[in-house]
Amino acid sequence: GEALDAQRLLYTSEGKPRISIISIAHLTDAERMFIVTLVLNELVAWMRRQRGTSSLRALFYMDEIFGYFPPIANPPAKQPMLTLLKQARAFGLGCVLATQNPVDLDYRGLGNAGTWLIGRLQTERDKVRLIEGLTSAADGEALDRGAMERLMSALAPRTFLMRRAKEDTPHLFKSRWTLSYLRGPLTSADISRLMTPQRAAALTAPAVVAAGGAAG
């Protein structure tokens, strides 16, 4: 399989950006935590080898982060995740985290997030915790808690509330309709079948030799 090397996962050998998807759906809970922690630590190590920049160099997206960044417990994945949230932007690495369980996240860490996209919430507890996180992210700026709570309570389907750092006014927007068959998660056999053409192309691609190196 592909080596767990952040540079190879984010860029091709020619230096072009690429998309790499790591699926852990077929693993046990302990194995998932192990893999996520390895990936996060690899991203932290890659980040620290980069020069500082104000431009976006790469993007790390993780769906369903429930259990990996809890408010009280301290699983292995939590510390590298917190490091990325605090430091990654200075090196051009953006982080996008998604969850359906906002009450189960460490909002002290998410206070480092500059942009929040909030959909419909099912419980008052979720709303309270989101207000806490937004207040932390405001970093001393005025936040109208009452207005934010009213906006969150009135969100319609497919409508999101966007709150950005250094902007006083939140924004409402709707997602576009897209064609999706909602087939559900892929199995390991599905992933293997979809990756077969990519593996074949990689095997037939010409080898790239670094300058000064020698091919054996």
For 45-56, the pLDDT digits (tens) are: 999 999 999 999
pLDDT tops 70 at residue 114: yes
pLDDT of residue 213: 41
Sign of CA dihedral 29, 34, 40, 43: negative
- 32's enclosing H/E stretch is helix 29-48
pLDDT of residue 206: 58
- Three-state DSSP class for residue 174: strand
pLDDT tops 60 at residue 130: yes
Q: State the pTM of this model.
A: 0.80
The pLDDT tens digits for 176-201 are 887 777 777 788 888 888 888 877 77
pLDDT of residue 59: 95
Average pLDDT over all residues of the chain: 84
The pLDDT tens digits for 56-72 are 999 999 998 999 999 88
Segments in 49-123 forming alpha helices (H): 78-87, 107-110
Q: In whole angstroms, how far apart are CA 148 and each of 1, 111, 116?
A: 47, 16, 12
Pick 203 or 70 by higher pLDDT.
70
Closest by alpha carbon to 110, among 94, 90, 88, 130?
130
Residues forming a β-bridge with 23: none
* pLDDT band (50, 70, 90) for residue 142: low
HSE-CB for 183 with a 13 A CA cutoff: 5
* pLDDT band (50, 70, 90) for residue 138: low
User: How far is Cα 125 from Cα 142, in angstroms, rounded to an integer?
Assistant: 22
Contact (Cβ atoms closer than 8 angstroms) between residue 170 and residue 137: no
